[in-house]
Amino acid sequence: MSKAVLSRPNAETRYTDTSVDIKFRLSALWIATMFIYAYVDIFGLMRADFLESLLVGEIVNTPLKVNQGFLIFAVAYILPASLMVYFSLTLKPRANRRANMVVAGLYMVTVVASCVGEEWIYFLFGSAVELVLFAMIIRLARHWPVEASV
């Protein structure tokens, strides 16, 4: 009966780097973006002004009311990003490339617009991270690998 010998890595150990398919990288970036979106919104609930305005059915510092229309808009707004997690893995390359660039570009515009007049640093920081992730999505999709012609 032989026992496997477990060795500990040392300074000379070389690990093999593995490549990750572009589709998985895009999907992972969309997942990371969704986490940032969710947590920035969740952390907003720790703000007394934001929470108090929600309790009376309003969005702080805006004329928006929390009602059926607002909530359906909120769901419709987050759906494309949520679905891009799946579509990044399943769409054909040409459609995948375009969808990622267009959707990420549109979200970049909305993130910048949401920062206008914002004073809370956590929100601005989260938005900056989202913008970086969207830029990474666009760059990665834009530089989609091309098949070598023979």
Cross-strand partners of 58: 65
Supply the pTM of this predicted model.
0.86
pLDDT in tens, the chain (150 residues): 555 556 677 778 888 888 999 999 999 999 999 999 999 999 999 999 999 999 999 998 889 999 999 999 999 999 999 999 999 999 999 999 999 999 999 999 999 999 999 999 999 999 999 999 999 999 999 999 988 776
Picking from 121, 87, 124, 122, the residue whose alpha carbon sits closest to that of residue 104 is 87
Residue 58: strand, helix, or coil? strand
Which pLDDT score, from 0 to 100, does residue 149 have? 74
What is the C-alpha to C-alpha distance for residues 14 and 10, in angstroms, rounded to an integer?
A: 9
Picking from 140, 142, 146, 138, the residue whose alpha carbon sits closest to that of residue 20 is 140
The answer to whether 133 and 28 have CB atoms below 8 angstroms apart is: no
The answer to whether 117 and 51 have CB atoms below 8 angstroms apart is: no
What is the C-alpha to C-alpha distance for residues 73 and 12, in angstroms, rounded to an integer?
A: 56
DSSP 26-41: HHHHHHHHHHHHHHHH
Which pLDDT score, from 0 to 100, does residue 8 have? 73
**If you search the block for the tokens 């990420």, which residue do you land on?**
104
C-alpha 81 chain-centroid distance: 7
